Amino acid sequence: MKYFLIAVGMFVCAGTIMAQQSQIGNAVKSQMALRATGGRDSQADTSETSIQQLRNEVLRLHGEIQSLKTDSTNAPYSQVTEDDLDALEDHIDQRMQRLENKVDAVSRATAPTVLNPRMTAFINFAARHDNTTVYDATGSNVISDRPFLRAMEMELGSAVDPYAEAVAIISLNSDAQKGFTIEPEEAYGLIKRLPILETAPLGLKMKIGRFLAPIGISNITHLHDLPWTTYPLVVSKYLGSEHGDFFDSGFNPVGADFQFFLPSPLPSATFEMNADVLRGSELGISEGDPGGQTAYLGHLTLSEDWNNEHLLVLGASAYTESGITTTSLFGGNLTYKWAPSEQRESHSFVGGGEIFFGNHSYIDSTGATLTRKPYGWYAFAQYQFSYWTYAGLRYDWVQEPSNVQLVSREISAYISYYTTEFLRFRLGVEHRIRPWRTPNLDNTNSIIFEANFVFGSHPVEPYWVNK
Amino acid sequence: MKKIFAAAVLLFTVTSLHTFAQQKQLKVVTTLNYLKYVTEQVGGDKVTVTALANPKQDPHYVTPTPRMNEVTTNADLFIENGLSLDLWAKNVIDASGNPNIGVGNPGHLIATINVPVKELPTEVSRAWGDIHPQGNPHIWLDPLNIRIVAENIAARLQQLDPDNSAYYQQHLDAFKHHLDEKMYGSELLDLLGKKGGDILTRKTKDGELYSWLSSRHLSSKLGGWMKMAEPLQGKEIISYHKTYIYFADRFGLKIAGELEEKPGIPPPAQHRDEIVDLVKRDGVKVILNDNFYSTDAAEYVASKTNAKVIVTYIDVYSSPEANTYENLITYLLEKILKAES
């Protein structure tokens, strides 16, 4: 009798397991096909149905075993022991776990980041109202009292092979009144190791291509990630902007960046360095002058965080290029962030600022060497009032790169409302003082409304704190 | 002079051996603190483990800092939860410059592989809120899933450090046995013998533990968390986020609803009122609110009903009561039992 019961049990199990394998194969094939088509369709439903059927089948098997147990208990001369049946059940359980493993593998394999590059799109819309006529940095395009699609960015990123990753950020930037320019805002390969160098001393990472140069904080922040409605004046004027601070600004040259950790002078702090070799003559304060010579950039960052609640970052930058023209830029930056872990009331604070000193020597039309040494700075503070709402202030002070006697000052305030980290509305007011302009244009008051959309596979990330 | 020389040689030898022994330890970095705890149980003194997140922090929203990047630079193994919970881990891995812990390397482990995941979405869209395409990621609040996580970690430690394979296996077995004791009590385990833990785990997974024990007149021998949870069978609770799906299923609770209408989106007023109606209708007594979420919505519902708000910690080391994984589960059960009583 016991052999008969065990044989029946084994037969049922074997038949079911074979059926399972066949169905699992089909399920996996379906999911592979689904992944190839890149979307969820009726095949997904078929796979899920198959998996559910398999689960039901295993549950039915457990029922069979329970039935066998009952039979064996009632049989007068049963010698089927609990151990025999538990061993059988254990065997089936192992099959169930393998089935779960395959379900798990299939579900993970269909994740959207597999093989295809991660894709994220950013749309930044802004409309402004001004008390006077406002021109862009070229002085030829009126930008006051009108809406703009300021930028649309498409970010692609993926591993290239076991040694490198690649990132490409294609940007369509508003060309003030003239339309849009398309440019690779960033396009670089990030090399983490090489076949001849399997380890990375000091955590060395090498970036090759075009990228936002590591001068301070704002320059490595994209327009859609800014905590303000416009770039700081010193960034747009000294580092680079064709159309001014209202549009995308910054210094994104072609070159190579080496980033690594250094022994920290303070026990619990982190000390990092970027050393860059870049194509020169593209910096804001040297742009337009002949050159094309090699430029060198170094950036040091000393930072410390306490329980991931308080973060203090100090940075120093030095840029130099020399040839037909000579340009140097020195900068310092300070950022403090406070974001409590227990965000029961969703409050946080971010504050800081940057200062830049420029030095640009060139030969004028008479053959004389002229040197300009402008400097400028800004400071800001932002407080989070609720899960959705942030408000902040910024003050700018900057000398014109072409004439240090001309100083612009600006105070701006803004309030940001996030539905989620992917959708933001912001209302900002700016008061700009330029005593060196014609009397009617000395002061400009502007109201700027901004809407920012992020969509795609970009991970959930609180931009307003992370950046 | 000879004595001084001999002492110096001895000191040098001891120091070198000590340094060598230290170097032999695998350096492990984990995203969350429960992963650190499990790794320490399995790895014993063969590993040094650092967790990146603050255990009181929302694991979805951790800001990668330079300190995290530097800590990870020399790691032999990086362990993350996966299931799109600690997505910030990628930023840390990339910024660390450590080529051995990148995705696809033996030094990178997603600890939740092979865990039976719940709530696999049939539609993936941001319109559903902060959705996790690979299923609900809060798997660690079910102790049976921790067994699988521990097995995954042990297997990877054995792969990276095969010389100590037996050591890791021994620690894994001991940890699983300890978890079984906490889950079912040592008296029942002793009665069932060597395979008792596996049998009880299987019965629990199949949802037939209590009936199986009853049929064998072993109900009185049950101890541990499953005994503690007996009064909770079928009790309804409300949670802020979908944090307690695994915990509730394991210990017989029923999640009547979440304060969040959609994951990651703060509760809209209309939904709060719907929850108030639900709590009144079903007589729900407990609202679980993770410590990192606002309690405003929960307090609102509580003010309109008889439900109690319990602010809970969900990671190991987040509070003195949750200084081990075992104590974390005990702490959660005790909190709910007290509120239900």
* pLDDT tens-digit series, residues A273-284: 999 999 887 888
The segment with the largest mean pLDDT, out of A191-195, A416-420, A437-441, is A416-420
Q: State the Cα torsion A280-A286-A291-A295 to the nearest 10°.
A: -20
Q: Cβ-count burial of A11 within 10 angstroms (0-12 exposed, 13-18 middle, 19+ buried)?
A: exposed
Examine the domain organization and report whether B231 and B166 are in the same domain.
no
Q: Give the DSSP per-residue string, A393-426.
A: EEEEEEEETTEEEEEEEEEEEEEEEEEETTEEEE
- Measured CA to CA, the distance from residue A449 to residue A427 in angstroms comes to 5
Cα–Cα distances (Å) from A3 to A6, A68, A83, A84, in that order, read: 5, 12, 15, 11
In a domain, B285, yes or no: yes
In a domain, B180, yes or no: no
pLDDT at residue B120, rounded to an integer: 79
And the tokens for B239?
Answer: 């949670």
Residues B238, B287: contact at Cβ < 8 Å? yes
Examine the domain organization and report whether B162 and B234 are in the same domain.
no
- Measured CA to CA, the distance from residue B128 to residue B264 in angstroms comes to 9
Q: Nearest CA of chain A to the CA of B103: how many Å?
A: 9
Please report, rounded to a whole number, the percentage of residues in chain A having pLDDT higher than 70.
77
Using pLDDT thresholds of 50, 70 and 90, give the confidence band for residue A91.
confident
DSSP A135: B
Examine the domain organization and report whether B37 and B167 are in the same domain.
yes
DSSP H or E run through A61: helix A42-74
Q: Is A192 on the interface with B (CB under 8 A)?
A: yes
Q: B64, A466: Cβ pair inside 8 Å?
A: yes
Mean pLDDT lowest among A82-86, A297-301, A342-346, B137-141: A342-346
> Which residue of chain B comes nearest to A104, CA vs CA?
B114
Can you tell me whether residue A266 is helix, strand or coil? Answer: coil
Can you tell me whether residue A190 is helix, strand or coil? Answer: strand
Examine the domain organization and report whether B102 and B243 are in the same domain.
no
- Measured CA to CA, the distance from residue A264 to residue B70 in angstroms comes to 11
Residues B253, B277: contact at Cβ < 8 Å? no
In a domain, B271, yes or no: yes
pLDDT at residue A48, rounded to an integer: 63
- Measured CA to CA, the distance from residue B111 to residue B100 in angstroms comes to 17
- Between vectors from CA B223 to CA B222 and to CA B228, what angle results, nearest 5°? 110
| pLDDT at residue A47 greater than cutoff 70 | no
Q: Give the DSSP per-residue string, B118-129.
A: ----SS--GGGS
Residues 304-323 of A with CB under 8 A from B: 304-305, 307-309, 311, 313
Domains in chain A (CATH in brackets) are 2-109 (1.20.58), 118-466 (2.40.160.10)
Please report, rounded to a whole number, the percentage of residues in chain A having pLDDT higher than 90.
35
pLDDT at residue A55, rounded to an integer: 76
Examine the domain organization and report whether B26 and B151 are in the same domain.
yes
Q: Which residues contact B176 (CB under 8 A, 6 or more apart)?
A: B147, B150, B197
Q: Nearest CA of chain B to the CA of A300: how many Å?
A: 12
Q: How high is the mean pLDDT of chain A?
A: 80
Scanning the structure block, which residue is given the tokens 């402004």?
A128
Can you tell me whether residue A40 is helix, strand or coil? Answer: coil
Examine the domain organization and report whether B243 and B160 are in the same domain.
no
DSSP A460: P
Q: Nearest CA of chain A to the CA of B10: how many Å?
A: 31
Top pLDDT among A271 and B99 is at: A271
**What pLDDT, in 10s, does the model give residues A115-138?**
778 888 999 999 999 988 888 877
User: Which domain, by its residues, includes B257?
Assistant: 227-340
In a domain, B139, yes or no: yes
Segments of chain B with pLDDT less than 50: 1, 12, 15-22
pLDDT at residue B227, rounded to an integer: 94
Which residues, in sequence order, are bridge partners of residue A452? A124, A424
Q: A108, B134: Cβ pair inside 8 Å?
A: yes
**What pLDDT, in 10s, does the model give residues A221-237?**
888 889 999 999 999 99
Whole-complex ipTM:
0.78
Cα–Cα distances (Å) from B136 to A283, A337, B146, in that order, read: 48, 31, 15
Q: Which residues in chain A have Cβ-Cβ distances shorter than 8 Å to B73?
A: 200, 202-203, 261
Q: Which residues contact A335 (CB under 8 A, 6 or more apart)?
A: A217, A311, A312, A313, A350, A351, A352
- Measured CA to CA, the distance from residue B325 to residue A386 in angstroms comes to 32
Over residues A358-365, mean pLDDT: 85
pLDDT at residue B32, rounded to an integer: 96
Examine the domain organization and report whether B163 and B281 are in the same domain.
no
Examine the domain organization and report whether B150 and B267 are in the same domain.
no
Q: Nearest CA of chain B to the CA of A180: how many Å?
A: 29
Q: Which residues in chain A have Cβ-Cβ distances shorter than 8 Å to B61?
A: 460-462
Examine the domain organization and report whether B76 and B168 are in the same domain.
yes
- Measured CA to CA, the distance from residue B269 to residue B300 in angstroms comes to 10
**What pLDDT, in 10s, does the model give residues A6-16?**
444 444 444 44
- Measured CA to CA, the distance from residue A121 to residue A453 in angstroms comes to 8
pLDDT at residue A15, rounded to an integer: 46
Which residues, in sequence order, are bridge partners of residue A84? none
In a domain, B149, yes or no: yes
Using pLDDT thresholds of 50, 70 and 90, give the confidence band for residue A437.
low
Top pLDDT among A465 and B193 is at: B193
Examine the domain organization and report whether B152 and B283 are in the same domain.
no
pLDDT at residue A466, rounded to an integer: 40
Among A123, A261, A308, A279, residue whose Cα is nearest residue A208: A279
pLDDT at residue B233, rounded to an integer: 92
pLDDT at residue A28, rounded to an integer: 39
> Which residue of chain A comes nearest to B100, CA vs CA?
A199
Helical segments of chain B, H only: 2-24, 33-43, 66-72, 89-96, 143-160, 165-184, 186-192, 196-205, 209-215, 224-228, 245-251, 269-282, 296-304, 325-340
Q: Cβ-count burial of B284 within 10 angstroms (0-12 exposed, 13-18 middle, 19+ buried)?
A: buried
Residues 270-309 of A with CB under 8 A from B: 270, 272, 301, 303-305, 307-309
Q: A459, B123: Cβ pair inside 8 Å?
A: no
pLDDT at residue B7, rounded to an integer: 60
Total domains present in chain B: 2
Residues A245, A268: contact at Cβ < 8 Å? no
Q: State the Cα torsion A186-A188-A190-A194 to the nearest 10°.
A: -170
Q: Nearest CA of chain A to the CA of B319: how many Å?
A: 12
Which residues, in sequence order, are bridge partners of residue A124? A151, A452
Top pLDDT among B193 and A4 is at: B193
Can you tell me whether residue A39 is helix, strand or coil? Answer: coil
Residues A456, A121: contact at Cβ < 8 Å? yes
In a domain, B167, yes or no: yes
Q: In CATH, what number is assigned to the domain containing residue B81?
A: 3.40.50.1980
DSSP A142: B
Among B325, B330, B331, residue whose Cα is nearest residue B40: B325
Probe site for chain A from B32, B57, B134 (most A CB atoms < 10 A)? B57
In a domain, B324, yes or no: yes
Examine the domain organization and report whether B26 and B168 are in the same domain.
yes
- Measured CA to CA, the distance from residue A269 to residue A267 in angstroms comes to 6
And the tokens for B267?
Answer: 């509760």
**What pLDDT, in 10s, does the model give residues A368-402?**
888 889 999 999 999 998 888 999 999 999 998 88
Neighbouring CB atoms inside 10 A of B1's CB total 5
Examine the domain organization and report whether B336 and B243 are in the same domain.
yes
Q: Nearest CA of chain B to the CA of A396: how many Å?
A: 27
Neighbouring CB atoms inside 10 A of A337's CB total 21
Q: For B98, which of A100, A190, A203 is closest by C-beta distance?
A: A203
And the tokens for B324?
Answer: 């081990």
In a domain, B145, yes or no: yes
Q: Cβ-count burial of B36 within 10 angstroms (0-12 exposed, 13-18 middle, 19+ buried)?
A: buried
Phi, psi of B151 (to 5 degrees): -65, -45
Q: For B114, which of A100, A305, A341 is closest by C-beta distance?
A: A100
Scanning the structure block, which residue is given the tokens 């989106």?
B265
Q: Give the DSSP per-residue string, A230-264.
A: S--HHIIIII--SS-TTS------EEEEEEEEE--
